[in-house]
Chains A and B, each alone.
Chain A
Amino acid sequence: MKGLAGRIIGVIVVLIGVVALIFVMLRIIPGDPASVLLNEHVSQANIDRLTRTMGLDRSLPEQFFGYLAGVLHGDFGRSYYIQQPVSNLIMEALPFTIKLTLLSIAFAWTFGIISGVASAMYNEHIIDYLFRGAALLGISVPVFMVALLLQYIFYFRLSIFPLTYDGSFASLILPAIALGWNSAGSIARLMRSELMEELDAPYMDTAKAKGLSYRKAVLVHALRNAALPVISLMALQLSGMLSGAVITESIFSIPGLGKLALTALQTRDMPLLQGTVLFTAFLIALGNICADLINTLLNPRLRTG
């Protein structure tokens, strides 16, 4: 329990650090939100007027502590650009990102584990080569190329899936594959190598000698032992996925958090960017804690340690 409380304090410290970091960086970054808003029809007088309205003429510490105080009261400020409370915008975008991330995690895990197990069991067989080839493509091709190829093959050539997100479940499948393939590849490779090691372990011979079928031996014993490192890897991948979502959401026009953060950054919409980054960091921290809990549950040795 003490461990958990420590973790939570750590998370809070980290989240404040994230806000501070983004806050400072955004003030160094060139590009003034007032200029972006006014765009082409610009004059110095208008810029000055707008800067005052946004409160950007206040001192930095004043702005920072003002923001922190707001956040503690659940007020993340208003977006400069979209003129709505940041929390509303995040809540609007969140479901899309959650759907996309869950689906791509599902894809990565299913594909990664199945192909890892299959290639370990059918070592050096054609099945092994096919699955390993797919895994290798996933880890070596940039996400955006995978996304474009998927669009080309499954929309343009085969007309199976929609080109971009249109609200339907089917239109989330291609982005989920594009986003999850890289993780799937890593999981498959790790699963395969862990499992191969387990299959060589002496206890497998014992298991077989005891009369367990090969398949059952793999599933019951080897898989359980091989699972631990794989689960740790899966937890680490959440951050990578939220990062990859920036590109995937752009290509497939998904109105999620990644796209929101990208717009916020491009328009120097400081409240919105601070809000989205803070929220994403929170999600990642949550993911890490969950992974730790799962690890502890699965591995009794860690519980005492």
Chain B
Amino acid sequence: MQQYSGFGLLTHSLTYHENWQRVWNNPIPKKHYDVVIIGGGGHGLATAYYLAKEHGITNIAVVEKGYLGGGNTARNTTIVRSNYLWDEASHLYEHSLKLWEGLAQELNYNLMFSQRGVLNLGHTLQDMRDIERRVNANRLNGIDSEVLTTAQVQEMVPILDCSKGARYPVMGASWQARAGTARHDAVAWGFARAANNLGVDLLQQTEVTDIRVKDGAVVGVETNRGFISAGKVACVAAGNSGVLAKMVGMDLPLESYPLQAMVSEPLKPILDTVVMSNHVHGYVSQSDKGDLVIGAGIDGYLGYGQRGSFNVVEHTIAAIIEMFPIFSRVRLNRAWGGIVDTCPDACPIISKTHIKGLYFNCGWGTGGFKATPGAGHVFAHTIAHDDPHPLAKPFNIDRFTSGQLIDEHGAAGVAH
């Protein structure tokens, strides 16, 4: 793999950048792969990379019906954090955050992982109790997290309205300093490049039309480019997971909802951290390009249209103005939607299935982006060993029957 560096840029500038290598190839599909991963988003590509790097499985295809990283990877608000409430979730997200911290160097691709910190605001006494509870749990789980007073929040974000006159005055916040944002597309591209380099075939514009099962075991996938035989098939298709599951007669406890996000026009630096408020119902950070990147709650109806309803945009912007009155004259440049697949307990499924060799990683709701390396890592382990990674175990599909749900609704709310 051609090594990237500032020196490389300098030397390539002498040859007018004519000699940069391809980041990935466009191979013809082979007849057989040991593992076929359906879905070329961040999670699928990370899974392929870790399978190849840590488990020595390199005869892999990532099958993507569109272009790499074109789903929710391309549509999220790029927040990375691990200060979740429940042990099972926080361990998984912290595993992911630790991987994030060295990922640019490992992949030799600058993912612009910016550990600028995330504030989760509390506006009511119960918010603050919940924050205390979560921060204490984080601390004892070894995750950096602290509770800030209103004065500390105000000092950190002077433009935030912390006055008592606000409709829901800021009473404090949780603060995770190691959390932050990353350049979303780069994550997919970095994993794709590294996986490609390890021999993984990235098959774009290749749509799976059926998953073939024989005698209770998966044997391959039908695609618009023909049948591809596979020893194992791993589904990492986010909002479309349910469609894949139906191909093998499986139901998943998932529902797919529109989740909208939006950006302002670029501004000179004005906001240095990520500010999230479940109560006021909006969150915002500023990208390196200067856009205010704003997130909303999900729309309440099922939707695969990659768009939601306008009133959600209106309410979200009102929430942003409530928190930051000075943004009232700033202008909204673009709003869009993704499809988030959510489980009843707001936690993902990383699981084997009753079909041998068929695996699912889905149901990330609004938490998928931040989990990208961690999810890929534990899912790769689960596939390679046909046995769940210890961190993935609580996220098996059987929990819906046993009642051992991991309820993250409190920690998830609108905000990611």
User: Do these two chains really belong together in a complex?
Assistant: no
Using CB atoms and an 8 Å cutoff, list the residues of chain B in contact with chain A.
none
Using CB atoms and an 8 Å cutoff, list the residues of chain A in contact with chain B.
none
